[in-house]
Structure 1
Amino acid sequence: MFSAIAFDMLDPVTLIVFAALGGLSFIAVTVAVFKAVQFARLGVGQRKAAEAVLDAWLSDRQDEALRLVAPRRSVLARTLQAVFSALHARPDQPAFAEELGRQTALVELAAMEERMRLLEMVVQAAPMLGLLGTVVGMIEAFSVLSAAGGAVDSAALAGGIWVALTTTAAGLTIALVTYFAASWFEARIDTERTLIEAAISAAIHGRVDASARLG
């Protein structure tokens, strides 16, 4: 749809708006790729490995649990490693282990939330920029109509209005795609936060239900 626009028909302000929307698109794509790679590197969602480690710990196989968790690089594994190390060093101080686990979790979650505000900025800014382009384009189109009196070319006027409206369509498209991407990343972060809290509690206090698992 947008590829059919003749850019020589655009006024400077509309060109600037399209350039800004292109910049927002680039930011959104770059951040989305960065987050996908980061989540993979952080091992987000790797529940089975963490569950195996937790099972070993709760089955009084502490040395095995420490050995299993050491090479793991997932968020859950690093949090459990902090809790296990604290419990191993100070078995009579579960509060210390819980606090150390929560501190580790805060650091991990902060890394996961890195650059998420950029996606939120794109979601909010893209429609506003698109609307600005439409308003400016409509003002330009009707100013031409006013100056020409009754001799205006209706086809040219319609083309000008169409071009003006495409900025809003482009802005909304960018915002919607970015919104869905941001929502998916935020859902993964929320799920990981819940799993971390459950893992810390289970490692220190045990499971209320022996059949309960992480997610």
Structure 2
Amino acid sequence: MNFLIGDFAMSDIISPISLPIFISLGLLSIAMIAVTLRKIGQFRKLRTGGRDGAEAALKLWLAGHSQDAMERARAQNSVLGRILTAVMSGVQARPGESEYAEELGRQTALVELAQMGRYMRFLEICVSSAPMLGLLGTVLGMIDAFAELSAVQGAADPASLAQGIWTALTTTAAGLVLALVADFITSWFEARIERERVLAETMISAAIFGRAGSIADAA
């Protein structure tokens, strides 16, 4: 079966030599979509964000209502809530040692951020490998096009050569499109992780040493 796209048949776009590249890009895109959905589910499970609940718990803590603040932070059960709970527990366990509470908070934050960063490496690999796969397909296609040209007796057909080059370039275009999508997704996740990191650091400092503004001012 030969599908048509505009005035071109599918066989004009996908040559036998570029077919493995398109299959690889297709598999890579499917894996990227699966990882993206998994990351979204992971963020929801970890309950990233939760800034309002953490802000409310911190206000209670700074107002001297330590027990209510602890209960509010635990009930939040978010990334920020768990970090805040660790800091409050450290302050209550060793009232005169702010370093202990700060270290507990930072250790908890490191664990939470490490979980949020899972699978990010794969998305980064998609960003870098998709264009390279596309370029490989183009190089192989160009080699094939010029090999066919060299086998022609007499004058070469410019239209045939142009079609071969055009077909070869489609893999690069496909790889670049996939890389751009992967880069956008990666940047969005990285921005979420960085935002959570800044909020966590601000919250740890505010819970131990007081604060100059709200948590919302940090993000």
Question: What's the TM-score, normalizing by structure 1?
Answer: 0.91
Change (3 A) 1:79 1:9: closer
Stretches of structure 1 lacking an aligned partner (at least 5 in a row)? none
CA distance in 1 between partners of 2:209 and 2:105 (Å): 13
CA shift, 1:35, in A, is: 1.3
Query: Is the counterpart of residue 184 in structure 1 residue 193 in structure 2?
Result: no
Q: Report sequence identity in percent.
A: 53
1:86 to 84, 87, 90: 90
Query: Is the counterpart of residue 166 in structure 1 residue 162 in structure 2?
Result: no
CA distance in 2 between partners of 1:3 and 1:203 (Å): 64
Change (3 A) 1:3 1:185: farther
1:41 to 23, 40, 45: 45
Q: Which has the higher contact order (CA 8 A, sep 6+)?
A: 1
Stretches of structure 2 lacking an aligned partner (at least 5 in a row)? none
Corresponding position of 1:76 = 80
CA distance in 1 between partners of 2:117 and 2:175 (Å): 25
CA distance in 2 between partners of 1:31 and 1:99 (Å): 32
Query: Is the counterpart of residue 30 in structure 1 residue 34 in structure 2?
Result: yes
CA shift, 1:9, in A, is: 7.0
CA shift, 1:29, in A, is: 1.1
CA distance in 2 between partners of 1:144 and 1:150 (Å): 13
CA shift, 1:42, in A, is: 1.7
CA shift, 1:159, in A, is: 2.6
Please show how residues 37-186 of structure 1 align to structure 2 within 5 Å. 37-150=41-154, 152-186=156-190
Corresponding position of 2:214 = 212
CA shift, 1:68, in A, is: 0.8
RMSD: 1.9
Question: What's the TM-score, normalizing by structure 2?
Answer: 0.90
| Number of residue-to-residue matches in the alignment | 212
CA distance in 1 between partners of 2:26 and 2:4 (Å): 13
Residues 15, 167 of structure 2: 8 Å contact kept = no
| Aligned-partner residue type, residue 149 of structure 1 | Q
